[in-house]
Amino acid sequence: MYNLVQETAIRQQDRTRRIAAAIARQQLSRLLDDVRRVEQPVIIEKSGVPVAAVVPLSMLDRERRWARERADRLALLERLRRPFRNVPPEKIERESAAAIAAVRGQRRRKQSPLR
């Protein structure tokens, strides 16, 4: 039986297989089975130029989840920044340093055996 990995112009590069578009078209069903089984993407090239990729659905789902999580984190950062948008950075740095110093001082006093 035709083995896509051994008998085509597939190269290994960063663990990503590459295949010519003509071969991918001829062996699409086999290509899809291989991608699902191996859980690795395959880059499809036309005249040696990458033009598309076939990726496992699990990888696409993971990328979508990461994108949502990143968007959520960026939105949270924006909500946290909003109250301070008119405060000069120097003032924020000065007050942050003072607050950190105060907390460290409290911790040192709590840990001191000479209390």
Report the top-level CATH class of 4-56. Answer: alpha beta
Task: Give me the pLDDT at residue 6, please.
Answer: 44
55: left (phi over 0), alpha (psi -120 to 50) or beta: beta
The answer to whether 19 touches 45, Cβ cutoff 8 Å, is yes
pLDDT band at residue 113 under the 50/70/90 scheme: confident
Q: How far is the C-alpha of 72 from the C-alpha of 60, rounded, in Å? A: 18
Q: How far apart are CA 21 and CA 98, in angstroms?
A: 62
Whether residue 4 is predicted with pLDDT greater than 70 in this model: the reply is: no
Residue 12 in tokens:
């290994």
Q: Residue 41 in contact with residue 61, Cβ under 8 Å?
A: no
User: 88: helix, coil or strand?
Assistant: coil
* Angle CA 55–39–28, to nearest 5: 55
Quick one: pLDDT at residue 8? 44
Q: What is the mean pLDDT of residues 6-18?
A: 57
Going from N- to C-terminal start, the domains of the chain cover 4-56, 59-111
Pairing of strands 16-20, 42-46: parallel
- Which pTM does this prediction carry? 0.57
What is the model's pLDDT at position 9? 41
| Cβ atoms of 18 and 10 closer than 8 Å | yes
Please enumerate in sequence order all residues whose Cβ is within 8 A of that of 8, keeping only pairs 6 or more positions apart, or say none.
19, 20, 23, 27
